[in-house]
Amino acid sequence: MIQKPRGTMDILPKDVATWQFIESKARSVAAKFGFSEIRFPSFESTELFHRGVGDSTDVVQKEMYTFTDREGRSLTLRPEGTASVARTLIENGMCSDTMPLKLYYLINCFRYEKPQAGRSREFFQFGVELFGAADAAADAEIIAVAHSLIKELGIKNTKLHINSIGCPECRPAYRQALKDYFAANTAELCDTCKGRLETNPLRILDCKSPVCSEIAKNAPKTVDHLCPECKQHMDELEGYLQEMGIEYEIDPHIVRGLDYYTRTVYEFIATDIGAQSTILGGGRYDGLIKDLGGPALSGIGFAAGITRLILAMEKSGVNIESENRPALYIASMGKDAAKYAMGVVAKLRCEGIYAETDLVGRSLKAQMKYADKKRAKFTLIMGDSELENNKAQLKNMDNSQQTEIALDDIGALKAMLSVE
């Protein structure tokens, strides 16, 4: 038997209602804050992610799905959304539009990672990006979008962790402080972090190795090495969050995994879903547009993993059931009745009503069991006598009340089904 590739998932009909609920809430929250949807290709030029995400990141070095097309071009399935949005803005001349630009997307992404709960090789994200606003108020607004989404989804037991990783002016001094600190512990670092020591020592702070994590606990903190401008930006962000009533804690170990981040980085962490506890994360990337060949344009955003949101919702006791119940199920007896039932169902559907009838030749008893299983709101039994008299009994399945209706009066039937 052919099976799905490892690290991918089948989303079955019984689960789709939860996904649609999250997507609907994401869209409504985005609209409430004035964000518009943007869509872009599932694969891009590999160079986009090398330049945008960063050559030294695990994403680029280990996790991308890269292939060569028939004309010898290197293409990559998108491992994240921000670089693609930045490319879209530059290519379509949107960098000169009225600022700020507020954009969101719902996409699937691809990374070659070890599959586990909340982490897969094809994964799904809700992402939000805001361009053209350098003030800390933009950081607060983006965090407020995330906070609102989590609240709308009914997720409890979350904590907002924030940090600042500085800017090109103050980060070199901090990088050197990290290198000096970790150099004294080189022998104990994992092989990956030994390589990071020269290329990107900030990533050592994010290592999941217990040994590296223990060493990193006493590493120099980014907030102690910020330039005056970055320190002021962080202070202003804290002030905005306090004014908005959004609780937070400063976490010097948050650095995020991509090279384009500057200044503000943050994560919403669910405390009860296990190892993959970050349900949403993001930060500021003021140099990304320029690095990709566009003008100097600030940016900040976040991405939320749909499967992790689902895990957090389940832990919070949020259960979404499909309400797609048939308004009417017509049980038929005999070929003439079956044909007439198909006609009634067709007319009701044209009126926007979900109606069903038998398609597989079930007995009347089996049809009624099927209607019960589908949780039909009303049922109607149609046979030769009903056809002859143009009358049938409409049964309310919630209270068992029956009402006689004329089969050819679709308007009256629609009214009885309480559908506007």
**CA diameter of the chain:** 94
Between the ranges 192-206, 247-261, 376-390, where is the mean pLDDT highest?
376-390
Q: What is the pLDDT of residue 254?
A: 85
Residue 273: how many other CB atoms lie within 10 Å = 24
Based on its alpha-carbon atoms, the radius of gyration of the chain, rounded to whole angstroms, reads 28
pLDDT tens figures, 149-175:
999 999 999 999 999 999 989 888 888
Q: Tens digit of pLDDT for each residue in 356-374?
A: 999 999 999 999 999 999 9
- The answer on pLDDT for 235 being more than 50 is yes
Q: Is the pLDDT score of 70 beyond 90?
A: yes
Give bridge partners of residue 238 from the DSSP assignment: none
Query: Cβ atoms within 10 A of the Cβ of 385, count?
Result: 11
Q: Read off φ and ψ for residue 39, nearest 5 degrees.
A: -130, 145
Highest mean pLDDT among 99-108, 184-193, 195-204, 248-257: 99-108
Higher pLDDT, 28 or 273: 28
For residue 176, the model assigns a pLDDT of 87
Three-state DSSP state, 402: strand
What is the per-residue pLDDT for 276? 63
Instruction: Output the pLDDT for position 258.
Output: 67
Rounded to a whole number of angstroms, the distance between the first and last alpha carbons of the chain is 47
Q: What is the distance between the alpha carbons of residues 159 and 278, in angstroms, rounded to a whole number?
A: 10
pLDDT of residue 268: 96
Q: Identify the DSSP state of 135.
A: S
Confidence band for 353, pLDDT divided at 50, 70 and 90: very high
In this predicted structure, what is the pLDDT of residue 420? Answer: 44
Q: Provide the 3-class DSSP secondary structure of residue 306.
A: helix
- Strand 74-77: give its sheet, edge to edge: 43-45, 74-77, 66-68
Name the band, by pLDDT with cuts 50, 70 and 90, for residue 257: low
Q: Distance between CA 119 and CA 114 in Å, rounded?
A: 8
Q: Let me know how long the chain is.
A: 420
User: What is the predicted pLDDT for the residue at 274?
Assistant: 67
H-helix or E-strand containing 194?
A: helix 191-199
| Residue 202 confidence (pLDDT) | 80
Which two three-digit tokens encode residue 365?
A: 């008893």
Q: What is the mean pLDDT of the chain?
A: 91
Asked whether 172 and 230 are in contact (CB, 8 A), the reply is no
Neighbour-count burial for 180-192, b at 16+ CB within 10 Å, e otherwise: ebbeebeeebeeb
Contact 184, 61 (CB under 8 A): no
CA pair distance 47, 240, nearest whole angstrom:
37
Q: What is the pLDDT of residue 384?
A: 87
User: Residue 91's Cα: distance from chain center in Å?
Assistant: 25
Residue 126 confidence class, pLDDT cut points 50, 70, 90: very high
Give me the pLDDT at residue 223, please: 83
Strands 378-382 and 391-396: antiparallel
- pLDDT-above-90 percentage for the chain: 69
More confident residue, 324 or 333: 333
The DSSP result for 40-74, as a single string, is --SEEEHHHHHHHT-TTSHIIIII--EEE-TTS-E
Question: What is the 3 state secondary structure string of 346-380?
Answer: HHHHHCCCCEEECCCCCCHHHHHHHHHHCCCCEEE
pLDDT above 50 (res 385): yes
H or E element that contains 328: strand 328-332
Instruction: Please state the φ and ψ torsions of residue 313, each to the nearest 5 degrees.
Output: -65, -40
- Neighbouring CB atoms inside 10 A of 151's CB total 13
Where is pLDDT greater, at 168 or 247? 247
Neighbours of 23 (CB within 10 A): 14
Mean pLDDT value across residues 60-80: 95
What is the C-alpha to C-alpha distance for residues 351 and 372, in angstroms, rounded to an integer? 23
Domains in the chain with CATH codes: 13-170+226-315 (3.30.930.10), 328-416 (3.40.50.800)
pLDDT of amino acid 368: 95
- Type and span of the H or E element at 336: helix 335-350
Quick check: 230 and 128 in contact, CB under 8 A?
A: no
Strand 74-77 and strand 101-110: the pairing is unpaired
- Residue 163 — φ and ψ, nearest 5°? -160, 165
